[in-house]
Amino acid sequence: MKQYTSVFASKKDQVARTPSYLVRAAKELFVPSSVERFFDPCPDDWTPDESQWNALDPNQPWGDFNFVNPPFDQTAKFFKRAIEQQDRAVSVFLVPPRFHTRYFANALPNIRRIVLINHRVRFVGYKDPLQSAVCFVVFGPAELTYPLDSGVESVQRIDVGFYASPKPLTVPEVKPPNAHLLHGALSDPLSQIMRSPEPNAVLCAARLDNKIVTQALTTADTYAVFICPTLRHETSKQKFLEGSMLLSTHGSDGYKYLEGHRKFAAHVLLCLSQTAHSEEEYDQLLRN
């Protein structure tokens, strides 16, 4: 069994295969039933220097419905290629929700859906789950109606916000008065804040792999704004490595402190059966 190394900035461990149950979930959520299979522009053994097929070549179009699990260190390039084809093609990505990155902020006007997956995913051939959370990100024609719009069991709609600054920001520049600052331990203090019925604003790491954070996002009258780029402390170079967010709980209007943030209707996949990976089903769901 392989171990994950630096999947965000290394050439190692960039060829992980998606478990088939996740591909099936993506197809049920985003693809009409009349479509039999996804096109896979980035199979698990893909490399950018292939002579016959290059997923990033503008002269080599993808399919009408695509499932893309890109090398995480090249997500920005794959987002750009999907946006170039969005008028005719739907592209469903499986990527970490790195909302604090510039490439994610730049792509946001073209993103049609974000679905957070509420469990850690173990990719095929690996001993342990990936430490980071992952999500589906969908690009495609603006007028396209997805099956998700008609309602899917175990998927909960949430409203989130995104705040992109042209320059790096420090905590004091965005911290509302009396807001809690959680820069270290997260689960216990956030649990206590969520148990209180009082409105509160919380600046903390955007740890979407944390169950308490997921519970907070799906709690009524709670609203999260993800900040790009990630926040830094005023007197040091220390920053929220996983990204940062301002969480307004129980009807708090702390989010208004970030004027001009962009609202987005996202979803959380609340319950997903993690069935064993099937190579046969995988081949039935994807083609190259």
* pLDDT at residue 125, rounded to an integer: 83
User: Per-residue pLDDT for the chain (288 aa), expressed as one digit of tens each?
Assistant: 455 454 444 455 546 789 999 999 999 899 988 999 999 998 876 666 655 678 898 999 999 999 999 999 999 999 999 999 999 999 999 999 999 999 999 999 999 999 999 888 888 888 888 888 999 999 999 877 666 665 566 889 999 999 999 999 999 999 999 999 998 889 999 999 999 999 999 999 999 999 999 999 999 999 999 999 999 987 767 888 889 999 999 999 999 999 999 999 999 988 777 788 888 998 999 987
Cβ atoms of residues 62 and 169 within 8 Å: no
Q: Which residues lie below 8 Å from residue 237, measured CB to CB, with a gap of 6+?
A: none
| Helices and strands: H and E segment counts in the chain | 7, 12
List, in order of start, the domains of the chain with CATH numbers: 20-154+271-287 (3.40.50), 160-262 (no CATH)
Structure tokens at 214: 């997921």
Q: What is d(CA 120, CA 155) in angstroms, rounded to the nearest whole number?
A: 17
Q: Which residues lie below 8 Å from residue 86, measured CB to CB, with a gap of 6+?
A: 110, 139, 140, 141
* pLDDT at residue 48, rounded to an integer: 65
* pLDDT at residue 4, rounded to an integer: 46
Q: What is d(CA 283, CA 276) in angstroms, rounded to the nearest whole number?
A: 15
* pLDDT at residue 271, rounded to an integer: 72
* pLDDT at residue 288, rounded to an integer: 74
* pLDDT at residue 42, rounded to an integer: 87
Q: Which residue type does 92 have? A: V
* pLDDT at residue 233, rounded to an integer: 86
Q: For residue 141, what are the CA distances in angstroms to 28, 32, 96, 166, 278? A: 18, 14, 23, 28, 31
Global confidence as pTM: 0.91
* pLDDT at residue 5, rounded to an integer: 52
Cβ atoms of residues 65 and 89 within 8 Å: yes
* pLDDT at residue 130, rounded to an integer: 87
Q: For residue 260, what are the CA distances in angstroms to 145, 190, 225, 256? A: 28, 26, 11, 9
